[in-house]
Amino acid sequence: MIVRRLSPFNLVSIALGLTFLYLPIAILIVYSFNDSRLVSVWGGWSLRWYRALLEDSAMLEAAFVSLRVAMLSATLATVLGTLAALALVRAGRFRGRLAFSAMVYAPLVMPEVIIGLSLLLLFVAADFSRGFWTTALAHTTLTMCFVTVIVQSRLLDFDRSLEEAAMDLGCPPLRTFFTVTLPLIAPAIVSGWMLAFTLSLDDLVIASFTTGPGATTLPIRIYSEVRLGVKPEINAICTLMIATVALIVVVASLLSKRYSSTQERRAALGGPPM
């Protein structure tokens, strides 16, 4: 590793950038350990808001709903997103491929308000009772395209001769997919799942359109509490959420890094690629 000396200009811009991004979060985390009842007055270190949180059943229930929605929608999105990626990379130039890929990627660029509103109209028109299931479905729609992007990029640099080698050795095509292809793209699928999970966990806009009574997600709960004034408890729950999301992001990036470094090692040793 070459450590390059940074110029003063670079140092200042890094410091400013990091401050801009992370100072608010750092303040929030520090204040979640504040002993004072007033949000903006420092009263010494304490875990009292975390204890208070444990007794706040409404908040805990909202967190539980959010986790369930995120689990379900991330899993659905991963299955569908992986299938979409396989179709886009492997099915060749089928009729309507361009339209299909445009439709898969649309939620990536569509404003969330519009996705939320259109899903709301759909659920009303179809006479679905809104709640847990509609939110999970909406989040699946939102996050599927992210899984597709990740899995597709892995499939694109997947060495097809590995599958051919498996078939050459007597492995039928479907078994080849499960014994060779799937294990090798698994890191991408897992990081896709994790991304979908975090996106679902912190979504407020779409959830507020598509949820109903009895299925208040955590972001909605927090938002409605904050409107009545910021309670220190909110800082505590937000800190926990940040910790959860950060953990998942770190695991996902480690997974994909491990994958790409084995790929590189393979390329370095394996001579010319096909």
Q: Which residues contact 193 (CB under 8 A, 6 or more apart)?
A: 74, 75, 77, 78, 147
- Find the part of the chain contacting another protein (CB under 8 A) among 112-120, 156-164, 199-207, 216-224: 156-164
From candidates 76, 144, 184, 237, binder to another protein by CB under 8 A:
184
State phi, psi for 54 to the nearest 5 degrees: -65, -25
If 0-12 CB within 10 Å is exposed, 13-18 middle and 19+ buried, where does residue 236 land? buried
From candidates 77, 85, 144, 180, binder to another protein by CB under 8 A:
180
Q: Which is nearer to another protein, 111 or 172 (CB)?
A: 172
How far, in Å, CA of 111 to CA of 208, rounded? 14
Q: Is 51 in the site for another protein (CB under 8 A)?
A: no
- 3-state DSSP assignment of residue 274: coil
- 3-state DSSP assignment of residue 95: coil
Q: Which is nearer to another protein, 19 or 179 (CB)?
A: 179
Q: Where are the beta strands (DSSP E) in 25-168?
A: none
Nearest distance in Å: CB 162, another protein? 5
Q: Is 229 in the site for another protein (CB under 8 A)?
A: no
Size of the site for another protein (CB under 8 A): 26
Q: Which is nearer to another protein, 137 or 166 (CB)?
A: 166
- Find the part of the chain contacting another protein (CB under 8 A) among 1-9, 61-69, 195-203, 265-273: 265-273
Nearest distance in Å: CB 86, another protein? 19
Q: Is 92 in the site for another protein (CB under 8 A)?
A: no
Q: Is 43 in contact with 35 (CB distance < 8 Å)?
A: yes
Q: Is 111 in the site for another protein (CB under 8 A)?
A: no
Q: Is 269 in the site for another protein (CB under 8 A)?
A: yes
* Full DSSP string of 230-248: --HHHHHHHHHHHHHHHHH
Q: Of 68, 52, 142, nearest to 106 (Cα)?
A: 142
Q: Which is nearer to another protein, 159 or 202 (CB)?
A: 159
How far, in Å, CA of 72 to CA of 149, rounded? 20
Nearest distance in Å: CB 48, another protein? 49
Q: Which is nearer to another protein, 180 or 188 (CB)?
A: 180
How far, in Å, CA of 40 to CA of 59, rounded? 22
Q: Is 243 in contact with 226 (CB distance < 8 Å)?
A: no
| Residues at the site binding another protein, with contacts judged by CB under 8 A | 159, 161-162, 164-173, 175, 180, 183-184, 262, 265-266, 269-274
